[in-house]
A = this chain, B = another copy of it.
């Protein structure tokens, strides 16, 4: 994830200990942590890091396109470092576990012009729901 730090450097970010730790916590590809989970893990490495800074950093990473927000019913927003390869999600209705999935076809083009109501449509999210093997047992 020093790739990320390098890109941030290039965009004029100051490399603070806090930002480094948040970036470390988010390294990995199939992770979908909540802000408070990120904060908890960051605290292990940098005990004095504040909730506000975690929220700030996550928000900045999202607006730079380095992180995706994944929001699911009635639960805290999750942050997805797998922002480079587009994908969708499969949720367990019982335990909330999320998996990355890659359905076939292009859902964006599945919305005909007559169903766009003058909107400029830019994106589509597919959220599959079900029960994971762990919860089914």
Identify the stretch in A3-11, A13-21, A45-53, A113-121 within 8 Å (CB) of chain B at 4 or more residues.
A113-121
Q: Which residue of B lies closest to A75 (CB)?
A: B71
Query: Within 8 Å of chain B (Cβ to Cβ): is A103?
Result: yes
| Separation of A93 and B121 alpha carbons in the complex (Å) | 10
| Separation of A104 and B115 alpha carbons in the complex (Å) | 10
Residues of chain A at interface, number, CB under 8 A: 40
Restricting to A81-111, which residues have a CB under 8 Å from any CB of B?
A: 90, 92-93, 99, 101-105, 107-108, 110-111
Contacting pair B126 A130 (CB below 8 A): no
| Integer count of this chain's copies in the complex | 2
| Separation of A131 and B123 alpha carbons in the complex (Å) | 10
Query: Within 8 Å of chain B (Cβ to Cβ): is A63?
Result: no
- Least Cβ–Cβ distance between A9 and chain B, in angstroms: 29
Some 27 contacts from A to B, beta carbons below 8 A apart, are A71-B71, A71-B72, A73-B77, A90-B115, A93-B122, A99-B117, A99-B119, A101-B111, A101-B115, A101-B116, A103-B110, A103-B111, A107-B110, A108-B128, A111-B128, A117-B133, A118-B132, A119-B128, A119-B132, A119-B133, A120-B130, A120-B136, A121-B128, A121-B130, A122-B131, A123-B129, A126-B126
